[in-house]
Structure 1
Amino acid sequence: MNYFFLFCICFLPLLSFRWGRVAEVPTKPEVATPSTRSGTKPVNAPSPSIVARLVSSLRKPPSPPSPVRSIFQQPLSSIVFSTRGTKAPSPPPPSTWFSPPARRQKPPPAESKPRPSPMPTFLTPPFTRPPSRAMPNVVAQAGADEVVTMTAFLGTEGSNVGVDLVVLMTHLQTACKHISSILASPTELQATLKGADSVHGVGRDARKPLDLVSNNIIKAALRSSGKVAAIASEKDDRPVWLGGGPYVVVFDPLDGSRNLDATVPTGTIFGIYRRLPEADHLPTDEKAFANVMQRGERLVAAGYVLYSSSTIMAISVGSGLHGFTLDYTIGEFAYSHHDIRIPERGQIYSVNEAKYFAWPVGLRRYIDNVRQGKGQTRKQYSARFIGSFVADLHRTIMYGGIAMNPRSHSRLLYEANPLSYLVEQAGGRGTDGKRRILEINPIEIHQKLPLFLGSAADVAELVSFGDIQQQTSPEVHTF
Structure 2
Amino acid sequence: MTATIKEFLLPAIPSKHRSAAGTGQKPARRGGYPVTTLHEHLATWAATASERQPVADTIAAIATAAAQLATVIAQGPLAGDLGRVLGASNDGDGQKALDVYANTLFTDHLRVAPVAAVVSEESNDIIALDPAGAVVVAMDPLDGSNNIDFNAPMGTVFSLLPAVAGDAKASFLTQGSNQLAAGFVLYGPHTALVLTLKDGVDIFTLDPAKGIFVLTRSRIQIIPAQRIYAINGSNARHWPLAVRAFVEECIAGSDGPRGVDYNTRWLGAVVSETFRVLLNGGIYLYPGDKRPGYHRGRLRLLYEANPIALLIEQAGGTATDGYSRILDLKPRDLHEHAPLIFGSTDKVTRVMELYAESVPQAGQRPLFAVRGLFKS
Same fold (TM over 0.5): yes
Matched, 1:352 2:232: yes
Q: What is the alpha-carbon distance in structure 2 between the residues aligned to residue 315 and residue 118 of structure 1? A: 20
Q: What is the alpha-carbon distance in structure 1 between the residues aligned to residue 169 and residue 233 of structure 2? A: 37
Deviation at 1:169, TM superposition (A): 1.1
Deviation at 1:378, TM superposition (A): 2.2
Deviation at 1:403, TM superposition (A): 0.7
Taking structure 1 as reference, are residues 155 and 377 closer, same or farther at Cα in structure 2, changes over 3 Å only? farther
Matched, 1:169 2:71: no
Q: TM-score, normalised by structure 1?
A: 0.63
Match of 1:232 in 2: 119
Taking structure 1 as reference, are residues 158 and 426 closer, same or farther at Cα in structure 2, changes over 3 Å only? farther
Correspondences of 1:148-187 after superposition (within 5 Å): 148-159=36-47, 160=49, 161-186=51-76
Q: What is the alpha-carbon distance in structure 2 between the residues aligned to residue 299 and residue 202 of structure 1? A: 24
- Aligned to 1:220, which of 89, 99, 108? 108
Matched, 1:368 2:248: yes
Match of 1:423 in 2: 312
Contact 1:239 1:292 in 2 (8 A): no
Deviation at 1:363, TM superposition (A): 1.3
Match of 2:298 in 1: 409
Secondary structure of 1:306's partner?
A: strand
List structure 1 runs of 4+ shifted beyond 3 angstroms. Answer: 117-121, 158-161, 191-194, 201-205, 374-377
Q: Look up the equivalent residue of 2:95 and give its one-letter code.
A: R
Deviation at 1:186, TM superposition (A): 3.3
- Aligned to 2:262, which of 381, 400, 404? 381
Taking structure 1 as reference, are residues 423 and 396 closer, same or farther at Cα in structure 2, changes over 3 Å only? same
Q: Deviations over 1:241-283 (max 9, x none)?
A: 2121100100000001012100110010000011123xx2xxx
Q: Look up the equivalent residue of 1:368 and give its one-letter code.
A: E
Contact 2:28 2:36 in 1 (8 A): no
Q: Deviations over 1:208-246 (max 9, x none)?
A: 111011000000011112x00111001101112212110
Taking structure 1 as reference, are residues 372 and 331 closer, same or farther at Cα in structure 2, changes over 3 Å only? same
For structure 1, the 5+ residue unaligned runs are: 1-116, 122-143, 281-286, 469-479
Q: Deviations over 1:177-230 (max 9, x none)?
A: 011000001365217678xx83234973421111011000000011112x0011
Contact 1:319 1:425 in 2 (8 A): yes
Correspondences of 1:24-423 after superposition (within 5 Å): 119-120=29-30, 145-159=33-47, 160=49, 161-186=51-76, 189-190=79-80, 198-201=86-89, 204-225=92-113, 227-242=114-129, 243-277=131-165, 280=166, 287-373=167-253, 378-407=259-288, 408-423=297-312
Which structure carries more relative contact order (alpha carbon 8 Å, separation 6+)?
Answer: 2
Q: What is the alpha-carbon distance in structure 2 between the residues aligned to residue 179 and residue 250 of structure 1? A: 18
Secondary structure of 2:223's partner?
A: coil
Taking structure 1 as reference, are residues 202 and 290 closer, same or farther at Cα in structure 2, changes over 3 Å only? closer
Deviation at 1:157, TM superposition (A): 2.5
Q: What is the alpha-carbon distance in structure 2 between the residues aligned to residue 331 and residue 118 of structure 1? A: 11
Contact 2:182 2:310 in 1 (8 A): yes
Q: What is the alpha-carbon distance in structure 2 between the residues aligned to residue 118 and residue 412 of structure 1? A: 37
Q: What is the alpha-carbon distance in structure 1 between the residues aligned to residue 135 and residue 95 of structure 2? A: 27
Matched, 1:443 2:332: yes
Q: Look up the equivalent residue of 2:33 and give its one-letter code.
A: D
Correspondences of 1:458-477 after superposition (within 5 Å): 458-466=347-355, 467=358
Secondary structure of 1:461's partner?
A: helix
Q: What is the alpha-carbon distance in structure 1 between the residues aligned to residue 269 and residue 86 of structure 2? A: 23
Contact 1:199 1:209 in 2 (8 A): no
Identical positions, percent: 31
Contact 2:321 2:341 in 1 (8 A): yes
Contact 1:255 1:388 in 2 (8 A): yes
Match of 1:127 in 2: none
Computing the radius of gyration over CA atoms, which structure comes out larger, 1 or 2? 1
Match of 1:453 in 2: 342
Q: Look up the equivalent residue of 1:146 and give its one-letter code.
A: P
Q: What is the alpha-carbon distance in structure 2 between the residues aligned to residue 184 and residue 326 of structure 1? A: 12
Deviation at 1:153, TM superposition (A): 0.8
Deviation at 1:376, TM superposition (A): 6.4
Q: What is the alpha-carbon distance in structure 2 between the residues aligned to residue 331 and residue 240 of structure 1? A: 28
Q: What is the alpha-carbon distance in structure 1 between the residues aligned to residue 176 and residue 332 of structure 2? A: 13
Secondary structure of 1:305's partner?
A: strand
Q: Look up the equivalent residue of 1:235 and give its one-letter code.
A: E
Secondary structure of 2:341's partner?
A: strand
Deviation at 1:345, TM superposition (A): 2.2
Secondary structure of 2:339's partner?
A: strand
For structure 2, the 5+ residue unaligned runs are: 1-26, 289-296, 360-376
